[in-house]
Amino acid sequence: MEKEFSAVVTKGEVVFVAFCPELGVTSQGGTEKKALDNLKEAVELYLEDEDVQDMLRKNPAKKAKICSIAVSA
């Protein structure tokens, strides 16, 4: 069964960082695509854990909403 999660990608000084806010899983890669590929693999491995599966059965992950905010600086 396929599940869909959010991914937030940012460019660091050297690598791209990909983060799944619903699960708190992070990965990185030299390109945006590689960071997302690595995140997908990391999420798949994370979801293999039986404790994680139990937790998600009891409290299903809700899709994150990514918003922008403006602040005075």
Decide if 19 contacts 8 (C-beta within 8 A): yes
Can you tell me the distance from the alpha carbon of 73 to that of 57, in angstroms, rounded to the nearest whole number? 42
Instruction: Provide the pLDDT for residue 13.
Output: 93
Map out the domains of the chain as residue ranges.
8-58
pLDDT of residue 73: 84
Element (H, E) at 45: helix 32-48
> What pLDDT, on the 0 to 100 scale, is given for residue 3?
87
Residue 37 CA neighbour count, 13 Å, CB half: 6
**Farthest-apart Cα atoms in the chain, separation:** 45
pLDDT of residue 1: 75
- Going residue by residue through the chain, which has 73 residues, state the pLDDT in tens, using 9 for 90 and above: 788 999 999 999 999 999 999 999 999 999 999 999 999 999 999 999 999 999 999 998 888 888 899 999 8
